[in-house]
Amino acid sequence: DGGITQSPKYLFRKEGQNVTLSCEQNLNHDAMYWYRQDPGQGLRLIYYSQIVNDFQKGDIAEGYSVSREKKESFPLTVTSAQKNPTAFYLCASSIGGRGEKLFFGSGTQLSVL
Amino acid sequence: QKEVEQDPGPLSVPEGAIVSLNCTYSNSAFQYFMWYRQYSRKGPELLMYTYSSGNKEDGRFTAQVDKSSKYISLFIRDSQPSDSATYLCAPNQGSNYKLTFGKGTLLTVNP
């Protein structure tokens, strides 16, 4: 089955620790995205990538980093610089990106210990 | 003025009711209009996709766009408990990669 796989489903971060969230897609989509969802805040764009080896900051990129070394993979690292990391993180992909329909993974809940 | 405004609810209706969910937006360049459904602790899934003004129907769901008043609606007929979810509107220009989402309306359909 084609789709987007996010792992882990739940993740805990200790103070000062970097953690990496995995996102893999087998839809052969060019564009991939990371969103953060907080209660009452809706979806906010962290980073997006149009093609391999290229990515752009979204609206709330501070404290996060990404890489896009393969078309299928777009991991997100939450660094220690992100002081309020507790949130539900969603990865998505689209065929081309410009106004295209987004397909989402099932999300990762990140909490701080 | 926020780019997209959506009443967060919560909205609670009895099974079989007609549900109306709404969004307003401020950017007149928006021309693609999407509705996503998100079950609790899951990723959103695309429910309806429309272009420009007018209506689009898919089973019990109807999406309506009025570009003159910058108002978009999603109607659910004969609502079912399985429709209980958060509904996110997402108007889009179609010219960039930054999709704008409303904050979502939480709907509960009671059996």
DSSP string, A21-50: EEEEE-S--SEEEEEEEETTTEEEEEEEES
Q: Identify all chain B residues contacting A103, using CB atoms and an 8 Å cutoff.
A: 46
DSSP-based three-state secondary structure for B87: strand
Q: Identify all chain A residues contacting B33, using CB atoms and an 8 Å cutoff.
A: none
Average pLDDT value for residue range A72-87: 95
d(CA B92, CA B58): 20
d(CA B97, CA A101): 11
**How distant is the Cα of A89 from the closest Cα of chain B, in angstroms?**
9
- Name the residue in chain A with its Cα closest to that of B51: A99
Provide the pLDDT for residue A97.
66
Question: Would you call B42 and A106 a contact, using CB atoms and an 8 Å cutoff?
Answer: yes
Provide the pLDDT for residue A110.
96
pLDDT tens-digit profile of B4-32?
A: 999 888 999 999 999 999 999 999 989 88
Provide the pLDDT for residue B2.
75
What's chain A's average pLDDT?
Answer: 93
Give the Cα-Cα-Cα angle A46, A52, A56 (nearest 5 degrees). Answer: 30
Q: Which residues of chain B have pLDDT under 70?
A: 1, 96
Q: Identify all chain A residues contacting B102, using CB atoms and an 8 Å cutoff.
A: 42
Query: Does residue A99 register a pLDDT over 70?
Result: no
Average pLDDT value for residue range A18-37: 96
d(CA A58, CA A112): 23
Number of inter-chain CB pairs under 8 A, A vs B: 57
Residue whose pair of structure tokens reads 């987004």 in the numeric block: A102
Question: Would you call B41 and A48 a contact, using CB atoms and an 8 Å cutoff?
Answer: no
